[in-house]
Amino acid sequence: MKKKLFLAAAAAIGLFILLELGGLALEIFVYSKSGGETLAPGLQKKTSAELERRNKANRTRLRECRPYGLYVVVDTAANRLSLKKGEAVVREAVISCGSGDVLDEPGGTRRWTFDTPRGGFAVQSKLVNPTWIKPDWAFIEEGEKPPSDYNSRIDNDSLGDFALGFGDGFFIHGTLYTRLLGRNVTHGCVRLGDKDLKYLFESVGLGTRIFIY
């Protein structure tokens, strides 16, 4: 008996909701002469104004976020770099980004993850014939003990002819391993071939924005 009463009550509530929704729908929607549905005049005006207000606000936000002038876009998954001006692509290049590999220090507590950072950055430095001061992980990776002699860390060849620094020791630079371009093999920096690197270096200035994803 209780189950029957419960089912009857549930059915009544469901019917009430359907009737209420139906009544609301009849109040909001009216049929146009062409047979299509449209909002009732008063509601249509109010809704259109609200939508236009929101669209205007969104367009303003988009304009504020849209890059202007030259900027660099790096796709770490596809290993592609684009130099863009507004929506136009000025130049595209095949690159190499971080491998994502993890290196643990044998018998130590340090760990390095070789990822290219994602986010918004800017060109902070422009170097010609850059010198790489090899960090500890560069030796540990090769199974060597990091040297105490500073001069043993100097490498004048690995970064190529130019380098664009974008913070925290990360650079867009050249490579000795052009055959590996298009693959995720770096320790976090972005590697470019000689011609593309030269073009990029000569095109951008300090403060040029870099977007990496």
CA angle (58 as vertex; 56, 63 as ends), nearest 5: 95
Domain housing 21: 2-65
Return the CATH number at 160.
2.40.440.10
Measured CA to CA, the distance from residue 100 to residue 186 in angstroms comes to: 8
Answer yes or no: do 134 and 45 share one domain: no
Please indicate whether residue 187 is annotated as part of the active site: no
User: Around Cβ 104, how many Cβ atoms within 10 Å?
Assistant: 11
Token digits for 84?
Answer: 């863009």
Query: Maximum CA pair distance of the chain?
Result: 93
pLDDT on residue 40: 44
Which tokens belong to 147? Answer: 């040297």
Do residue 98 and residue 186 come from a single domain?
A: yes
Question: Which residue is catalytic, options 65, 97, 187, 189?
Answer: 189
Alpha-carbon distance values, 45 to 26, 39, 55, 158, 200 (Å) = 17, 9, 15, 65, 51
Give me the catalytic one of 65, 97, 173, 187. Answer: 173
Where helices occur in the chain by DSSP H, the ranges are: 2-28, 41-65, 136-140, 194-203
User: Does 95 share its domain with 152?
Assistant: yes
In terms of domains, do 156 and 178 share one? yes
Beta bridge partners of 155: 132
Could you give the count of Cα atoms lying within 13 Å of 92 in the half-sphere of its Cβ?
Answer: 7
Q: How far apart, in Å, are the Cα atoms of 87 and each of 82, 90, 105, 142, 197?
A: 11, 9, 45, 43, 21
Q: What is the DSSP letter of 186?
A: B
Q: Where is the domain boundary, 65, 94, 110?
A: 65
Task: Note whether 127 and 165 are within 8 A (CB).
Answer: yes
Residue where one domain finishes, among candidates 32, 65, 98: 65
Paired sense of beta strands 170-173 and 162-167, if any? antiparallel
One domain, residues 85 and 23: no
Same domain, 19 and 109: no
84 and 48 housed in the same domain: no
The one-digit pLDDT tens for each residue of the chain (213 residues) are: 434 434 444 444 343 333 333 433 333 333 333 444 444 444 444 466 776 777 677 666 656 666 779 999 999 999 999 999 998 999 999 999 999 999 999 998 999 999 999 999 999 999 999 999 999 999 999 999 999 999 999 999 999 999 999 999 999 999 999 999 999 999 999 999 999 999 999 999 999 999 999
178 in the same domain as 126: yes
How deeply is 102 buried, as exposed, middle or buried, from its count of CB atoms within 10 A (0-12, 13-18, 19+)? exposed
The domain tally of the chain equals 2
User: Looking at 16, 37, 65, which one is the last position of a domain?
Assistant: 65
